């Protein structure tokens, strides 16, 4: 399990900071291992390096590792400009999903919007498919239930999928994309409801995905939006 911590700066600022910011991240109060949850048992346990790719630059950043003295599991204090198990910064991932799912750009125009040298089209297609699987299959019902728990009388409007998603002929992919589109709109509504209850909560428009990572972790669920359905480690049942 990867622990997502808020870092107000960019990947560049994180990479250039001395000492590296991860060393000052506070330790979680309880072990993230769902089979443990021991309190006050976490200690710092070295560091490792990983990529933080913005599209134009590949930064090498240090990540703080922690260990639970009760169960022995290790975890990582990951800054929230990154998504677990993804080398590209979350801002770029959100931009790609928005351009395809919300704005409705085709592949040629979408690829032209990415910072040079850009990512391979196959990589970008995998991002879209992985987000669609995570949002539509794994997380959609959970998001609905939590929204209704926040305001049972509000009701949830049906959001008709935009016409540009009809260009996808495969029925399974088309259905996932339509639900992923609704997931995005409902996630914005979730933020609005939580913001009303906690005015100090603040995420900019380009930080919808970091907000969702923090929200998922608070329940707790794996702080992940992108799940490749082709991988054997990806869950097959919804959360």
- For the chain, the domains span 2-79, 90-217
- Residues 24, 38: Cα–Cα separation, whole Å: 22
- Residues 112, 185: Cα–Cα separation, whole Å: 25
Query: DSSP class of residue 154?
Result: T
- Residues 97, 43: Cα–Cα separation, whole Å: 36
Kindly state the tokens that stand for 137.
Answer: 């299959």
Q: Could you read off the pLDDT tens digit of each residue along the chain, which spans 239 residues?
A: 688 998 888 999 999 999 899 999 999 999 999 899 999 999 999 999 999 999 889 999 999 999 999 999 999 999 999 999 999 999 999 999 999 999 999 999 999 999 888 789 999 999 999 999 999 999 999 999 999 999 887 677 666 778 888 888 899 999 999 999 999 999 999 999 999 999 988 898 889 999 999 999 999 899 999 999 999 999 999 99
Which strand ranges, in their side-by-side order, compose the sheet holding 74-79?
A: 2-5, 74-79, 58-68, 42-53
For the chain, strand residue ranges (E) read: 2-5, 42-53, 58-68, 74-79
Enumerate residues 6+ apart whose C-beta is below 8 A from 20: 14, 47, 61, 62, 64
């Amino acid at each position: 399990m990867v622990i997502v911590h808020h870092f107000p700066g960019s990947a560049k600022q994180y990479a250039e900071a001395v000492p590296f910011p991860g060393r000052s991240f506070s330790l979680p109060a309880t072990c993230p291992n769902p089979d443990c949850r021991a309190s006050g048992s976490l200690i710092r346990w070295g560091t490792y390096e990983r990529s933080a790719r913005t599209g134009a630059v590949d930064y090498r950043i240090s990540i703080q590792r922690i260990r639970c003295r009760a169960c022995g599991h290790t975890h990582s204090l990951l800054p929230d400009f990154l998504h677990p198990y993804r080398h590209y910064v979350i801002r770029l991932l959100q931009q790609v999903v928005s351009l395809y799912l919300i704005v409705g750009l085709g592949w040629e125009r979408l690829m032209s919007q990415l910072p040079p040298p850009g990512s391979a089209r196959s990589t970008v297609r995998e991002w879209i498919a992985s987000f669609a699987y995570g949002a539509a299959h794994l997380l959609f019902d959970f998001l609905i239930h939590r929204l209704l728990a926040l305001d049972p009388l509000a009701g949830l409007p049906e959001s008709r999928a935009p016409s540009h998603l009809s260009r996808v002929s495969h029925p399974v992919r088309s259905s996932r994309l339509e639900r992923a589109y609704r997931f995005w709109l409902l996630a914005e509504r979730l933020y609005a409801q939580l913001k009303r209850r906690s005015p100090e909560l603040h995420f900019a428009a380009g930080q919808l995905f970091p907000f969702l990572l923090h929200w998922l972790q608070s329940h707790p669920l794996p702080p992940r939006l992108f799940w490749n359905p082709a991988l054997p480690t990806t869950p097959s049942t919804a959360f």
